[in-house]
Structure 1
Amino acid sequence: MFLEEYDVIVVGAGHAGSEAAAAAANMGCSTLLVTMSLQNIAQMSCNPAMGGIAKGQIVREIDALGGYSGIVTDKTAIQFKMLNKSKGPAMWSPRAQSDRMRFAEEWRLMLEGTKNLDFYQEMVKGLIIENGCIRGVKTSLGLEIKGKTVVLTNGTFLNGLIHIGEKQFGGGRAGEGAAYGITEDLVKAGFTAGRMKTGTPPRVDGRSLDYSKMIEQPGDVNPDKFSYLDTTKPLVEQRSCFMTYTSEEVHNQLREGFDRSPMFNGRIKSLGPRYCPSIEDKINRFADKDRHQLFVEPEGWNTVEVYVNGFSTSLPEDVQFKALRSVAGFENVKFFRPGYAIEYDYFPPTQLKHTLETKLVEGLYFAGQINGTTGYEEAASQGLMAGINAALKVQEKDPFILKRNEAYIGVLIDDLITKGTEEPYRMFTSRAEYRTLLRQDNADFRLTPRSFEIGLASETRLRRMEKKRDESDAFVNFFRETSLTVDEANPVLIEKESAPIVQSDKMFKIFSRPQIELEDILKFEKVTNYIAAHNLDREVVEQAEVQVKYSGYIEKEKNNADKLNRLEDVKIPADFDYDKIKSLSYEAREKMKKIRPVTISQASRISGVSPADVSVLLIHMGR
C-alpha cells in the first residue's frame, strides 16, 4: 500500500498540510499526504476569503517562494480588493473572496498533478518515535507508515470539541470527527500541550436576504491578482459583498442567551482570537457600542450559501436565529447551519526551532493551528516552510530560514518560537518592524531567488522576476536621468497644490513629492512615451513608482536592518550554560534556558530579556 519509507509524511490536508506536501514533493522528496477526508482538502473552514491586512502579503510571499495558495486563489476568486490604498504601499494588502467549493477542488487537482506525492485517507492516531527521532506514523487501522520526517498540520482536529449553546460534541469541524491519540503520544514524549478556541458564524440562504437594505461592497474597478505568474489572470467579472449592522435590539436578544453561552457559563475555558471575537464577546467587551458591522459574503459563483462575517458565535441556535432576524436585510433569513465554537489542542511554539522542527524529536515538524496561530494564510506559510525544511533535512542540506527583514513569514515564525503565544496568533503589519521593505509588491524580488536556490521556485518564475526587476530599475533610472522643464511640470504641480519649480528638475525629485500620485506621473508625455516604447506592464510601472516615492524610507529601513542583522551573526552554542553568567537577570536566565535562542538577535527579542542582559551576553562572547 505504501513505499517502504517516505522522505516526508504530512498529517492533515488543510492549508498548512497542502502547502507542506506540495513543497516537499516539488523539491523531489517522496511524500505522503494523510488526511481524514480527501473530499475536504484545503477546506475553507471559516470565511471564504484569502488575504487581507498583512495576510495578503503572506500569500504573495508564499507565491514568490513557489507555493500554490496564490495560484489557487486567483483561479477561484469571485472578487478582488487592494485594502489600505489610501495609505502608503507598506500597508497595501490584497484580499480576494473565493468560491469555497472551487477553491478546495482546485487545490486537490493541483496536488494530484504534483509528482512524488501519494495520498491516503485515514486518521493518524499516533507517532512512531525511537531514540528521540521520528520514524513514522500509526493509523486507526493499526497500520504503521515509515517516514524519515513527519509534518503535523492537524488544525482544530486534535481532541476537538464543538460548542453550540449548552450542547457539546467531539469534532474537528462541522460534520467531521475529531482526531485522537496524537496529543497523548506527544505529551508522553515530553511536549507541553494547551487548549485554544476559535469560532465561526452561521451560514445562511442568500435567497432569504433583502440586499436592498444593505450597503453594496463591490470589488476593485481594475482588480489585481495574487500570483506573480502569468498563468493566472485578473478577474473580468466579480460578485459583490454587502454590509449591514447589528442594533441595540439585536444585542438585547443576544444577551438573553448569555446564561446558556459556553463562553460565559464556564464550559469554554480556553482563549479565542483577540482580533476576531465572537458577537457575544463584542457586545460584552464593547458595551458602549450600539451597533457592529456585519459583512455578507457569498460563498461562490453558483451557490446561494452566504457567510455572515462578524457574527461568529457559540450561543444556542434559537438565540442566533432570533437575533439575526432582527438585523436589517435578515428579517426572513433561513439558516443552512448555525455558528459554533471549537476547542482544540495546540502545542506552545517555543518548543520549536526556526525551521519548525521540534526541539524534542528530531525530524518532527509542526505547522499551522497546532502552533497556536489562526488564519489560512498563517497556516499555509508555516506549512510551506515546514515542508521545505523537512525536504532539506532529508537531502542533508542547510535549513531554510527567513529573517524578520526578509519576509512576514520570517516575522511570524520568529514571533512564535521566540515569544510563544497563549491566544490564537494573527499577523498584522504592525508586528513587522521592517514593513516598508516587506511590501506585497516586491515579495518576488525578496524571495524568488532564494527559493530557486533550494530547488522550489521554477526557472520560469525566476526569469519573470528578473525581467520585472530589470525593467523597473531601468524605469527608475530614467526618472533619475530625465528632467522636466518649468512649463512641463508646473501645470500638474499647481493642480496638485504642490510648490511649482523655478528651473528644470529631475523627474525623480519631482515625483517623490507626497502630493504626486501615479495618475499624475502618467500625465507627462515623456513618461507615457517611455512606457509605450518599452512595452511596460502595470506591475512594473507601479513598482517603479513605489521605489521613487519611498526611496528615502526604504534606504533608512535597510540600514536599520543591516545594523540589527549583525547580531544575527553572533551565534549562541546550543549547550550554552546561562546559569554561569550571574550578571544576567533571573528572568532572562529562565527564559533563555527555556527557549534556547540560536543568536544574540533572537535572544534580544525574548520577552523579559533586557538590553542590559544582551550587553552581558555580548561581553561574555567577546563582543
Structure 2
Amino acid sequence: MGVNFREEPFDVVVCGGGHAGVEAALAAARMGADTLLLTGNVDTIGQMSCNPAIGGVAKGHIVREIDALGGEMGITADVTGIQFRLLNATKGPAVQSPRAQCDKKAYQFRIKHTLELQNNLLVFQGTVSGLIFEGSTVVGCRTTLEVEFRAKSVIVTTGTFLRGLLHVGEAKSSGGRMGDYSSLTLSDSLMGVGIELRRLKTGTPPRVAGRSIDFGRMEEQRGDSEPVFFAFHDTRGDVELFHVERSGQRRLGWVPGVNQVSCWITHTSEVTERLVRDNLHRSAMYSGQIQGVGPRYCPSIEDKIVRFADKPRHMLFLEPEGRQTDEYYINGMSTSLPFDVQVAMVRSVPGLEGAQLIRPAYAVEYDFAPPTQLKPSLESKVIENLFFAGQINGTSGYEEAAGQGLVAGVNAVEKVRGRPAMILGRQESYIGVMIDDLVTKGTSEPYRMFTSRAEHRLLLNHGSAELRLRHHAEAHQLVDGKRLAGIKTKHGRVHHWQSWLESNTTSGGVWADVIRAVPNASLPDEFVAEAKEVRDEVLYRVRYKGYLERERQLADKLRNADRVRLPDEMDFRAVPGLKKETADKLACIRPTTLGQAQRVSGVTPADVAILMVHAARFSGGTRERGA
C-alpha cells in the first residue's frame, strides 16, 4: 500500500505527458474538471520524440480539428513553426494539408508552460507503476514513489513507454525513447484485469550536425510565401497567442510565419543500398530480435531497400530541429542497424560525406492494447472509467495521438458528470474516422491517418473544421463564449455569401454558375472585401456544390445507420441467420450501432439486414447505449 496523495479523488488522472496526455489533460481541465497529469519526466512534456514537425497529409486536417475543439497543438505549432508548407497544393482543396516544421524545444517549452498555467490542472512528476481497481472499475493509480492518486476516471497515454525496448543493431536497452525511462510494471497491471496487450515497433533516424553538411550538393526546399496555419486565428484574439491575461506571464512563441528556414532534399546512393543489403543480418528487425510489427507507411531504410528493390534511390529530407540548435533530422532514414553501419550509411549520401552524427538511429518496441477493446468514447469495455489514447491504441504520429487525447479527455469528464459522450462521426471529422476505424476494425500495425481512409473526405476540407465541429465545441463547452460567437458569425457570413452567389446574377448569368464554369472568374467587389477564411470556404462550397450534395446524401445514409442503436443485451451468437464467423467478430467488438456493425470486416449487407430486424425485437433496441 502506498501513501495517498490526498483524500479527495481527482475527477481525471492522465497517465503520460506526450501529445495525447497533453490534450487530454487540457481538455478536461478547461471543462472545469479537477485534473492531474502524471508524467515520468516533466522536462519532456510534449516532446517530439521523432520528426520535429506537425501536420502533413490528413494529419494537418486532424490538427485543425483539434484546434476547432479547443485543443492546443495547432496554435503551438503556429507560434513555434519555422517552416510552413501546404502539401498537395496542386490537387483539390479537400486533400490539401498544412504542415509545419517546428522548433522542437520551443514547441515543448510552450506546451509545458501552457499546462503549468492552466486552471484546474496539476502537473506532477511520477512514474505510474500500476492502476488501482475496485471490481471492474478503476479508482486510481500507483507510482514508483509509493504514492497513490485516487481518481474518478483515469486516462492512459503511455506512448512507446509501456515496456519500451530500444534496439541499435544487437544492442538493447530499456526505454520509451533514447535517454528516457520505460514503464515496466504497468503492463502487468493492465493484463491482470483482462486487458489484452500486443507488441508494435517504430523507429527514428540519426541526427547530424548542420556544420558537417554540404548543403551545396542538396536541393533547397523553402517554406510557402503565404503560409497556411493550423489555428483559426480569425475567431480568436491575438491575446491568446502570446500571453495569459490573468497571470501576465508571456509564453514562448513568435508571429506565425516569420523568418522561415529551409529544409534540404538529397537521395540515397548505390553505396547506401549495398551497405544496407550487406548488413541486413545485423539489423534488429531483420535479425529477428524485434517481434513487434512496424509502420507500413513510414518504413525503415532497410524496408525501403528490400521492398522497393526496383528503386535506384530513395529521397531524404534534411530538416532543422530548431532555430537555436545545429542539429538536423534525416527524414527517410529510420533504421535499427548497428552504429558503425549507420555512420557509413549516412556518409554514403550526397552532401553528407563528412557528416558528424549527434544521435544514433534506433528502433523501439512497445506494448499496445488492441483498440477493439474500447467503446467509441475510448473508454475500456473491460474496466469502467478507464480510457486509452495515443500509441497505446496502436496509432502512430503526434497528430493521431493528440486527437484521441482530446476526445478521451472530454469523455472522461462527461462520464464523471453522467453526461453523454462526445462521439465524432465519420462524416464530420478525420478524428471520427480514425477512432471508428480503431474501435471497429482494430489494427495489427501502427495506424496512420490518410485522406483515403475517409469515404466522405470532400466534406472534410481542413478550412471547414471549425464550422463542422461547432456543435460539439458548444455542447461540451470546449471553447470560450467569445470565440464561439466568432465561429457563429463566420458561419453566418459563409451562409450569406453562398446564398447570395447562388441567387444573384451578373452579365454571364448567376454568379455561382459563372464561378463553376470559369476557373478564374472575376468576383463581386463586396465579396472580395470579405475575410479570406470566409471567401475560401464559400468558394469551396460553390465550386464543388454538386459533388458535396452527393457526398451529403451518402453521409446521411451512414448517419441513419449509426442512429440505430444495438442493445447491450444482444447476443450476436444467438441471432438466427448470422454465420458463426460473423457472430464471433460482432461478439468480440460489440458494436454500439448498426452503422458500426456494418463497418466490421466481413459483415455483409445481408448480415446488416438480419441485425436490423433482430434489434427491433428488443425493447431497448433504440435506446442510447453508453458509448
TM over 0.5: yes
* 1:82 aligned partner: 86
Q: Partner amino acid for 2:534?
A: V
Alpha-carbon distance in structure 2 between the residues aligned to 1:544 and 1:564: 25
User: Which deviations, in whole Å up to 9, do the C-alpha atoms of 1:329-385 show, x marking residues without a partner?
Assistant: 101100111100000000000000001000111000000000000000000000000
Cα separation, partners in 2 of 1:161 and 1:509, compared to 1, 3 Å:
same
User: In structure 2, what is the equivalent of residue 115 of structure 1?
Assistant: 119
Deviations 1:209-268 (A, max 9, x none): 011111111111111211013435541321111110001111101222212111111101
Q: Secondary structure at the match of 1:377?
A: helix
C-alpha root-mean-square deviation of aligned residues, in Å? 1.3
Q: Which amino acid aligns with 1:222?
A: E
Q: Match for residue 344 of structure 1?
A: 366
Paired amino acid for 2:485: R
Q: Which of residues 290, 313, 320 in structure 1 aligns to 2:335?
A: 313
| Pairing partner for 2:23 from 19, 26, 41 | 19
1:484 Cα offset (Å): 2.9
Q: Tell me, which stretches of 5 or more residues in structure 1 are unaligned?
A: 486-503
Partner of 2:165: 161
Q: Hey, what does 1:390 align to over in structure 2? A: 412
Q: Name the stretch that deviates more: 394-403 or 222-231.
A: 222-231
Out of 545, 555, 577, which is 2:571 matched to?
577
**Secondary structure at the counterpart of residue 319 of structure 1:** helix
Pairs aligned (count): 595
Q: Tell me the secondary structure at the aligned position of residue 198 of structure 1.
A: strand
Candidates 411, 426, 442, aligned match of 2:464: 442
The answer to which of 225-234 and 57-66 deviates more is 225-234
Q: Which residue of 2 aligns with 1:64?
A: 68
Deviation at 1:596, TM superposition (A): 0.5
Contact 1:254 1:320 in 2 (8 A): no
1:263 to 2:267 alignment: no
- 1:143-182 matches, within 5 Å, as 143-182=147-186
Alignment of 1:11-50 (within 5 A): 11-50=15-54
Post-superposition CA distance 1:573-606 (Å, at most 9, x none): 1121122223101111000010011111100000
State the 1:476 CA deviation: 2.3
CA distance in 2 between counterparts of 1:372 and 1:449 reads 29
CA distance in 2, matches of 1:81, 1:3: 50
Q: CA deviation at 1:481?
A: 3.3
Give the counterpart letter for 2:98 in structure 1: P
2:476 aligned to 447, 454, 463, which one?
454
Q: 1:565, CA displacement in angstroms?
A: 1.3
CA distance 1:613–1:207, shift in 2 (3 Å): same
* Aligned counterparts of 1:471 and 1:619: Cα–Cα separation in 2: 44
Q: Structure 1 residue 413: deviation in Å?
A: 0.5
2:273 is aligned with 1:279 = no
What is the rounded CA distance, in whole Å, between the counterparts of 2:441 and 2:560 in structure 1?
21
Work out the CA distance in 2 between the residues paired with 1:241 and 1:3: 52
Match of 1:554 among 538, 548, 553: 548
Q: Are 1:66 and 1:448, in contact at CA under 8 Å, matched by a contact in 2?
A: no
Match of 2:311 in 1: 289
Seen in structure 2, the aligned counterparts of structure 1 residues 530 and 607 have a Cα distance that, compared at 3 Å, is: closer
* Partner residue, 2:625: none
- Distance in 1 (alpha carbons) for counterparts of 2:478 and 2:67: 11
Three-state SS of the structure 1 residue aligned to 2:460 is coil
- What residue in structure 2 maps to residue 493 of structure 1? none
Give the match for residue 332 of structure 1. Answer: 354
| Shift, 1:439, TM fit | 1.2
- Name the amino acid aligned to 1:404: R
Looking at structure 1, the residues matched to 328 and 69 of structure 2 have their Cα atoms a distance apart, in angstroms, of 33
1:431 corresponds to:
453
**Residue 287 of structure 1: how far off its partner (Å):** 0.8
Gaps spanning 5+ residues in structure 2: where?
Answer: 242-254, 618-627
In 1, Cα distance between equivalents of 2:613 and 2:535: 49
**Which residue, 525, 549, 552 being the options, matches 1:528?**
525
Letter in structure 1 aligned against 2:473: S
Conserved? CA contact 1:125–1:181, under 8 Å: yes
Mapped to 2, the partners of 1:530 and 1:164 lie a distance apart of: 58
2:498 pairs with one of 463, 476, 487:
476
1:85 Cα deviation (Å)?
1.7
Q: Distance in 1 between matches of 2:18 and 2:192?
A: 26
In the alignment, which residue of structure 2 is the partner of 1:489?
none
Give the aligned residue type for 1:392.
Answer: E
CA shift for structure 1 position 465: 1.3
Aligned-pair CA distance for 1:448? 2.5
Q: Which amino acid aligns with 2:568?
A: A
Deviation at residue 326 of structure 1 after TM alignment = 1.2
The correspondence for 2:596, drawn from 588, 602, 611, is 602
Between the aligned partners of 1:158 and 1:477, the Cα distance in structure 2 is 53
Deviations 1:269-310 (A, max 9, x none): 110000000001110111111100001111111211101000
Instruction: Give per-residue Cα distances to partners, 1:127-156, cap 9 Å, x unaligned.
Output: 101110011000102111100100000000
Q: Distance in 1 between matches of 2:284 and 2:467?
A: 48
Confirm or deny: 8 A CA contact 1:82 1:93 kept in the other structure: yes
Letter in structure 1 aligned against 2:382: L
Query: What's the offset of the Cα at 1:472?
Result: 2.3
Structure-2 separation of matches of 1:184 and 1:405: 38
2-structure distance, mates of 1:191, 1:622: 32
> How far 1:180 sits from its partner (Å)?
1.4
Do the aligned residues in 1 keep the contact of 2:59 with 2:400 (CA within 8 Å)? yes
Q: CA deviation at 1:199?
A: 0.1
Name the residue aligned to 1:420. 442
* Further displaced range: 270-279 or 394-403: 394-403
- Which digits, 9 at most, give the CA deviation of each residue in 1:309-336, with x for residues without a partner? 0000000111111011111110110011
**TM-score, normalising length from structure 1?**
0.94
1: CA distance between counterparts of 2:434 and 2:533? Answer: 27
SS in 2 for 1:326: coil
2 CA distance for matches of 1:106 and 1:141? 28
Distance 2:211 2:270 in 1: 26
Q: Are the equivalent residues in 2 in contact too, given 1:448–1:457 (CA < 8 A)?
A: no
Question: Following the alignment from structure 1 to structure 2, what is the Cα–Cα distance between the partners of residues 70 and 479?
Answer: 32
**Paired residue secondary structure (1:148):** coil
Tell me the distance in 2 between the aligned counterparts of 1:549 and 1:385.
33
**What are the Cα deviations for residues 68-98 of structure 1, in whole angstroms up to 9, with x where unaligned?**
1111111100011111121111101111110
Q: 2:624 matched to which residue of 1?
A: none
CA positional deviation for 1:473: 2.3
Deviations 1:143-199 (A, max 9, x none): 111001000000000100000001011111110010111110111101111000000
1:8 maps to which of 2, 7, 12: 12
Conserved 8 A contact 2:527-2:535? no
Query: Hey, what's the Cα distance between the residues in 1 that align with 2:10 and 2:399?
Result: 27
Aligned with 2:71: secondary structure?
coil
The answer for the alignment partner of 1:496 in structure 2 is: none
Q: Distance between the aligned counterparts of 2:123 and 2:8, measured in 1?
A: 15
User: Deviation at 1:529?
Assistant: 4.4
